Amino acid sequence: MRRMRAIGLWATLAAVGVLAALSVVGTFRGAVGARTLFTSEPLAVFWILLAAFLVACFFFGTGLVRSPGLVAMHVGSILILVGAMWGSDKGHSVAEKLLGWKKIPHGYMMIREGAATDEVTDDATGEPVGRLPFQVGLKDFRIEYYPAQGPWKLWFEMLVPPGHAPQMGWVPIEWKEGEEISVGQTALRVRVVKYLRGARAVADATGDLVGAEADPESRTPAMEVEVAIRDQAFRGWILVPEGEDRGSLSLAPIMPKDLSKEAAPNLWLVQPRGMPKDYFSDLAVRKGGAVVAEKTIEVNDPLGWGGYHFYQYDYDHERGEYTVLSVRSDSGLYAVYAGFVLLVAGTFVRFWFERARAGWRRRRSDGVQADAR
Amino acid sequence: MEFRPTPVNWMVLGAMGAYVAAALALGAGALVGMGRASRRRGRAPGKAARALRVVGWALFAAGFAVSLAAWLVRWHEVQHAPLQNLYEVCLTMGALMLPISLFCRRVLRVGAEWADAVLAAVVLFPVAMVFNPEPQHLPAALQSPLFVPHVATYLAAYVVLGKAAVQAFGCLVRRPVATGDSTGRAERGGELLGAGASADLSRATYTMVCFGFPLLTLGLVLGAWWGKLAWDDYWNWDPKELWSFVSWLVFLAYLHFRAVRGPRSPVLGSVLVLAGTACILITLLWANLSRLFAGLHSYA
């Protein structure tokens, strides 16, 4: 019996050594390379053998069953391995072949605001991999930013009709008061005449806003700019409406007529933003035309429904009009979670409580012997 | 390497000074006590040894108070628990050392406080001299209720297993010396680490690993659970994840080895513990700082 126990423990050491060596190799291959390595067929065989070995530990006189902590640790490890294999791509294909359970293991969904879809695309290729038995709709997408300090940003915006080159949308202008700056690849030149950190608008006799003046109590800035293109020049104020995060000035007066009509060129004064703090997608799950589940998801708070989990993965960085969800099948997930609980509980029971209890018993028996003497 | 004069860094410098002085006083106290014990086996430490220990503990407590204050000031500066990057992680470890040292002494009967004070000074050194103190916003993925438990549990595990490594190192470098006791031999090094012979050091190493391993496991599992919520998978094969798994496996191997051999092969057991600690250092430092291992944890 003792020999079997020793053989089992040395075999465990060998398995742990192999796993550690493979993990070290994996660290040098990057996450994608490591995933490929650990999900390859030889490694699938290794995982199955490891799980079988852990099961065998209960039957070959290792003394495992005498310790509740060790039992929990080993059962936990088995559950984690089985759950992870069940939830893997290969696990899904085996379940489909043997049991007829057809489920998409993982993929992505890109959903525009106001739209709904059931199509899941492949992580790597972007090709459709299947359809869910329900639709997921995006009611609203929002980004929350950290506050940022510093002067507001100046942008040039022009809508370029298809076929025109260069294609241009928004061009940032790195401005400095008094300096003339060329805008991107265009002939447009901009000079910031005056920048007021806090300003209020000034109206003429007819009520039209014609400029701005400094107002120490205001948090809304204003900027006077001089814009020139070839031999045409134009001076005006960019005013920001109270409570808004941006204000604009139309450049139509100095643009060629056809271009100003089609391209609607503007200068924008935009409040600077810090880095994104969080992203929120208001999702609605629809089945048979009815909404069956709703949730606002964010990073760290996914939606679980119908055997899948939907994670906030990415979003439209330009205009915030669509969200990208990562879709994961939840096959095997709860086995893994149960394994986590048992593994952690087992280590604490084994190495904290069983050791403390053994120490207490030893001290008590020493005390009894001392009393007897 | 340069000192960046922020209020937190000045406090860290002060804490480091107190920790170094504490290490010297506690180490001298242990040496004086050891010499006296060698001459007259069984006698209590003398007045000088006791005085050095009192001074050492007072300095250790002062270092702890200053590093805890620095940690709280940092929290106020960044408006979240300071556990985000290496600067904050090392700052936290510097403040964790005394409570863990006291717990180990009182409950686990594992000493070597002078080595704990040295470790505290060593982990605080890069805070003052190497890492960037610029406050950073928390990215969306780190705004999780699991952020503090995951990182704090790992840091506690690292400190405890660092103490295990000190005992293991002592077990490796111990050497026999002649004494006047009945056996005629004792092993120098053990007393300095708060233990007697190599068997005591081996037992102390095992005690520390038994204390640290569940924390290491909890940290690993909390990370996997958090990864599932944030990045859709509990295991992303990220280099830092893999190195932390390797650390866990090495300590798991040590515990299995100890189960097979008991205390009979202290040298090999100690080598495993030191290897595990080296893997922790790689997980904590190299996986974050080296461009070899870009991954999900690169923000740190």
Taking only the tens place, the pLDDT of each residue in B89-143 is 999 999 999 999 999 988 888 878 899 999 999 999 999 999 989 988 899 999 9
Question: Is B237's CB within 8 Å of A6's CB?
Answer: no
Q: What φ, ψ does residue A39 adopt, rounded to 5°?
A: -105, 10
* Nearest CB neighbour to B213, from listed A23, A38, A347: A347
- The rounded distance, in Å, linking the Cα atoms of B206 and A98 is 47
Task: For chain B, say whether A106 makes contact (Cβ under 8 Å).
Answer: yes
Mean pLDDT, rounded, of chain B: 86
Interface contact flag, B253 A340, Cβ < 8 Å: no
Residues of chain B positioned with their CB less than 8 A from the CB of A302: 229, 232
A23 CB neighbours in chain B (<8 A) are 242-243, 245-246, 249
pLDDT band for position B150 (50/70/90)? very high
At residue B262, the pLDDT reads: 79
Q: What rounded mean pLDDT belongs to chain A?
A: 88
Judged by CB atoms closer than 8 Å, whether chains meet at A278 and B143 is answered as yes
Cβ atoms < 10 Å from Cβ of B62: 18
Spatial neighbors of A365 by CB under 8 A, at least 6 apart, are none
Picking from B183, B186, B176, the residue whose alpha carbon sits closest to that of residue B38 is: B186
Count A/B contacts: CB-CB distance under 8 Å: 119
The answer for A 352-371 residues in CB contact with B (under 8 A) is: 352, 355
Report chain B residues whose CB lies below 8 A from the CB of A104.
none
Closest-CA residue of B relative to A359 is: B108
Contact A23 B294 (CB under 8 A): no
- Residue B293, classed as helix, strand or coil, is helix
How many CA atoms are closer than 13 Å to the CA of B215, on its beta-carbon side?
Answer: 18
Q: Which residues of A touch B287 (CB under 8 A)?
A: 27
Average of pLDDT values for A149-155? 88
**Inter-chain touch A17–B253, beta carbons under 8 Å:** yes
Task: Enumerate residues 260 to 319 of chain A having a beta carbon within 8 A of any beta carbon in chain B.
Answer: 274-279, 298-302, 309, 311, 313
Residue in chain B closest to A278 (alpha carbons) equals B140
What pLDDT band is residue B191 in, cutting at 50, 70 and 90?
low
- Which residues of B fall within a CB distance of 8 Å from A28? 292
Distances (CA, A) of B151 to B109, B143, B227, B272: 26, 13, 13, 24
Chain A residues with CB-CB distance to B214 below 8 A: 344, 347-348, 350-352
Q: How far apart are CA B171 and CA B202, in angstroms?
A: 6
- Classify each residue of A54-90 as buried b or exposed e, where b means 16 or more C-beta atoms within 10 Å of its C-beta: beebeeeebebeeeebbbbbbbbbbbbbbbbbbbbee
Write a three-state SS string for A220-240.
Answer: CCEEEEEEEECCEEEEEEEEC
Identify the pLDDT of residue B174.
73
- Summarised one tens digit per residue, pLDDT across range B45-99 is 678 888 999 999 999 999 999 999 999 999 999 999 999 999 999 999 999 999 9
Q: B225 and A340 in contact by Cβ < 8 A?
A: yes
Q: Would the pLDDT of A18 be above 90?
A: yes
What tokens appear for B17 in the block?
Answer: 């000074």
Residue B238 or B250, more confident: B250
For residue A304, what pLDDT band results from cuts at 50, 70 and 90? very high
Model-level pTM? 0.83
Mean pLDDT confidence for A145-158? 86
| Angle made by CA atoms B268, B273, B277, in degrees to the nearest 5 | 145
pLDDT at B186: 46
- Assess contact for A234 and A227: CB atoms under 8 A: yes
- CB-nearest to A299 from B221, B230, B233 is B230
Q: How far apart are CA A314 and CA A322, in angstroms?
A: 9
Query: For residue A63, what are the contacts with CB-CB under 8 A and spacing of at least 6?
Result: A5
Q: Is the pLDDT of residue A371 over 80?
A: no
- The values of phi and psi at residue A70, to 5°, are -65, -40
Q: How far is B212 from chain A (nearest CA, A)?
A: 9
Q: Is the pLDDT of residue B198 over 70?
A: no
| pLDDT above 70: residue A161 | no
> What is the percentage of chain B residues whose pLDDT exceeds 70?
84
Count of other CB atoms within 10 angstroms of residue B108:
17
The runs of H, that is alpha helices, within chain B are 7-39, 47-78, 86-103, 113-129, 147-173, 198-231, 239-261, 266-281, 287-289
| 3-state class percentages of chain A: helix first, strand second, coil last, to nearest 5 | 35, 35, 25
Q: How far apart are CA A116 and CA B59, in angstroms?
A: 65
B202: nearest Cα among B264, B115, B250: B264
State both tokens at B281: 């250092």
For residues A238-267, average pLDDT: 78
Give the DSSP letter of residue A63.
Answer: S
Q: Rounded to a whole number, what is the distance in angstroms from the first to the last CA of chain A?
A: 37
Q: With bands split at pLDDT 50, 70 and 90, how would you rate the model's confidence at B194?
A: low
The CA-based angle B49-B54-B56, given to 5 degrees, is 90
Mean pLDDT of A331-355: 96
Tell me which residue in B146, B238, B253 faces A31 most closely, judged by beta carbons: B238
Taking residue A1's Cβ as centre, other Cβ atoms within 10 Å add up to 9
Q: Provide CB contacts within 8 A for A76, sequence distance 6+.
A: A338, A339, A340, A341, A342, A343, A344, A345, A346
B296 CB neighbours in chain A (<8 A) are 31
Answer for the pair B148, B9: CB distance below 8 angstroms, yes or no.
no
Could you tell me whether strands A308-315 and A322-329 are parallel, antiparallel, or unpaired per DSSP bridges?
antiparallel
Give me the percent of chain A exceeding a pLDDT of 70: 92
Q: Is the pLDDT of residue B181 over 80?
A: no
Confidence of residue A105 (pLDDT cuts 50, 70, 90): very high
CA distance B276 to B244: 10
- Chain-chain contact of B140 with A146 (C-beta, under 8 angstroms): no
pLDDT at A231: 79
Q: How far is the C-alpha of A261 from the C-alpha of A259, rounded, in Å?
A: 5
Quote the pLDDT of residue B228. 94
- Place B173 in a pLDDT band, splitting at 50, 70 and 90: confident
Per-residue pLDDT band for A229 (boundaries 50, 70, 90) equals: confident
Write out chain B residues lying below 8 Å of A6, CB-based: 260
Please enumerate in sequence order all residues whose Cβ is within 8 A of that of A119, keeping only pairs 6 or more positions apart, or say none: A109, A128, A131
* Listed residue (B101, B112, B106, B107) closest to B201, CA to CA: B112
Contacts of B298 in chain A (CB under 8 A): none
List CB contacts (< 8 A) between B249 and chain A.
Answer: 16, 19-20, 23
Percent residues over pLDDT 90 in chain A? 53
Task: Using the Cα atoms of residue B66, residue B67, residue B73 and residue B76 in order, give the sign of their dihedral.
Answer: negative
Q: How many CA atoms lie within 13 Å of A11's alpha carbon, on the beta-carbon side?
A: 15
Per-residue pLDDT at A167 exceeds 70: no
DSSP helix/strand/coil, A61: coil
The whole-number average pLDDT for the span A173-184 is: 88
Which candidate in A351, A360, A363 is best for mutational testing of the B interface (most B CBs within 10 A)?
Answer: A351
Say whether pLDDT at A156 is over 60: yes
The amino acid at residue B97 is M
